[in-house]
Amino acid sequence: MKNTSFRCLWIGQAFANLGDIFYVVGLISLLYTGSAFYLSLLPFTTTIFRFISSLLSPLVIDRFPLKRILVQSQWWKTILLVGLGIYITSFNHGFSVAVIFFIASISLLDGVAAPVSAALVPQLVPKEERMKANGFLNVITQTIFVAGWPLGSVLLISTNSSFIIWLTVLLFAVSTIYTVRIEVSERTLDSVAPSNWGSIKSGWVVIRQTPTIRTLISIDFITTLASSVWVAAVIYLYVEQNLQLGEEWWGYINTSYFVGMIFSGLIVIRFAKLLERHIGFFITVGLFLSSMLTLLFGTTSIPALALLLACLYGLPEQIREVIYTKLFQDHASEKTLAKIHAVWGAVINLTFAVSVLLLGYITETYSVKTTFQFSSTLIILAFLYAIFKKKDLQEKKREHSMPNQSSNIPR
């Protein structure tokens, strides 16, 4: 974890994550003109184009080294942000087709960069230190979220969308410079690249052939359906109906959740070896705790208890996320790992988009308590499925490790 390349990776990611927050804040300021429809185009466009990009990213992963893909995506994202900054400074101060074009293009690059960035970690960190490294990266990410959103809000009040976008350009330029400094030794690309369809389906084939990864993604599919209960639209109603407090309590709950994630990441780093020895146990127990905490949070009307439960909810969530990442890393080579993360990202993006609508409908039709009860039930189903598949969660890395045979699955 102390090597220079890993340091460049996490510093570059930190600047990129902060840039992503300011980018969203700037776009909200730009698009919000009193129309909820225009504002809703931001998450809709981002989610749809990241989903498309995740599906198609294996085409790029099969043909170029991972570091080159990451660097190029960062540079192009910076260039597009420069174009967006010039456009809104010179020609436009609100919604337009051109702005949506920039959002869609940047989302396409994000869909490629995210799985590639995740796949670089095993090349920079020894296997025995990966759990700590994953925990450390998560702590950095959650810290950026805790600090970034309040800072973004201050910028939104004191400046304008144009200034925030140009600040985002600067952050991504710095992130790209650090990314360029990463040194990795990648395997030589296959002399004969697989067909386009072979590339696209290869990640799905790997998941189908690897029980551990298949089980993890199935669990995550169910828990993602449930996790949309924490989006702003539901929490706003929760604060109004359950706590009967002002909307500022949404910010308090949000901050409490991320603070819990940070402390959980520190726990993961401290007890990485223990978690690694009992992976199946911590996944199943974590799911049960997540379900109970969700249920209790959704039914309480005590503000202090709500903050505590939101904070505690981060513990099983963080542990589960770090374990998932570690198991993915142990079961695939670098190219295959990037494709698995691409499939994972596609599944999660589409599932999240659907679940937001589903839970929003339940909240509006019934009540916010019913929504949390429904979410808790979904996580219990994931818990029962994890118990049923406990053998898969405990298995060690298999020898097949994605064989380089006639199947178009590159190593």
Which pLDDT belongs to residue 93?
A: 59
pLDDT for position 409: 29
Instruction: Identify the pLDDT of residue 94.
Output: 59
- In the numeric block, the tokens 């959650």 are attached to 142
pTM metric for this prediction: 0.77
How many C-beta neighbours within 10 Å does residue 136 have? 21
pLDDT at 77: 92
CB-CB contact of 157 with 30 (8 Å): no
Per residue of the chain (411 residues), what is the pLDDT tens digit?
Answer: 567 888 898 899 999 999 988 888 888 777 766 555 566 677 778 888 888 888 888 888 888 888 888 899 999 999 999 998 888 888 765 567 788 888 889 988 988 888 888 888 888 888 778 888 888 888 888 888 888 878 887 888 888 888 888 999 999 999 999 999 988 776 555 555 667 777 778 888 888 888 888 898 899 899 988 988 887 778 878 888 888 888 778 778 888 888 888 888 888 888 888 887 888 888 999 999 999 999 999 999 999 999 999 999 988 888 888 888 888 887 777 778 888 888 888 888 788 878 887 888 888 888 889 999 999 999 999 999 999 988 877 645 443 343 333 333 222
